[in-house]
Amino acid sequence: MTNRVLVFYGSYRADRVGIRLADYIVARLRERGDDVELVDAKSVGLPILDRMYKEYAPGKAPENMRRLAEMIRAADAFVFVTGEYNWGVQPGLKNLTDHFLEEWFWRPAAIASYSAGRISGARAALSWHGTLSEMGMVVISSTLAVGPIAEALSPDGSPSGETGQILDRSFTRFADDLAWWAEAAKLQRTRKHPPY
């Protein structure tokens, strides 16, 4: 079964190494037959949150926000690729997610974290777990944690060294878990309208 998966990436830095992990996930999910699109918060360019999408009058939201809302509603699952900034989440990715709410409901989300060091963004991943749950997503139990990111993935997103091999071995369970929840949620949405 093909799933429509959006992979979100949130760094705004000039020299973004974490994009390697986003590219790796997109490529691997496509190999599995999923319909996958990368959503780069920097490219989308939403303003600092002032008004959520739902707070605009119909037809008055900025075009980039409207397009993204449609993409989110059409997706079966999400992957959030996050770095760790001072033990916290990336502000660019958090800002993007906060523009929406109901659009996220009743679908699974997976977290893939990274850092330049050995902690692999684990503290940011923990923060994201609660945030995504609060926003109406089912956060799957499988995660990816990659660090040091520059040693695990080459600039083209190919696994390298021992850390890259560990990532490659971990990916199958991560993707299987996401697919199971995506298919379960998709089936349930056809059987019964969500309660809110």
- The predicted-structure confidence for 115-128, as pLDDT tens digits, reads as follows 998 889 999 999 99
Segment 176-195 mean pLDDT: 94
CA 53 to chain centroid = 19
Structure tokens at 13: 């830095």
pLDDT confidence of residue 195: 83
What are 134-159's pLDDT values in tens digits?
A: 999 999 999 999 999 999 999 999 99
Residue 20, both tokens: 């390697």
What is the chain's length? 196
Amino acid sitting at position 76 = D
Residue 118, pLDDT score: 87
Determine the pLDDT at residue 4: 98
Long-range pairs, 155-160, Cβ under 8 A, ≥24:
155/20, 156/20, 156/23, 157/20, 157/21, 157/23, 157/24, 157/27, 158/24, 159/24
pLDDT of residue 1 exceeding 80, the answer is no
Tokens 């019964």 sit on residue: 192
CA distances from 87 to 21, 43, 140, 146, 156 (A): 19, 25, 22, 15, 27
Query: Residue 185: which pLDDT band, with cuts at 50, 70 and 90?
Result: very high
The single residue listed with the structure tokens 């600039």 is: 155
The pLDDT score that the predictor gives to residue 86 is 87
Domains by residue range for the chain, with CATH: 4-191 (3.40.50.360)
The 10s digit of each residue's pLDDT in 30-62 is: 999 999 999 999 999 999 999 999 999 999 999
Give residue-wise pLDDT tens across range 65-110.
999 999 999 999 999 999 998 888 999 999 999 999 999 999 999 9
Distance, CA of 131 to CA of 111 (rounded, Å): 11
The reported pLDDT for the residue numbered 193 is: 87
- Cis before residue 148, ω within 30 degrees of 0? yes
**Angle formed at CA 18 by CA 16 and CA 19, multiple of 5 degrees:** 75
Predicted TM-score (pTM) of the model is 0.96
**161-191 and 19-31 helices, crossing angle to 10°:** 60
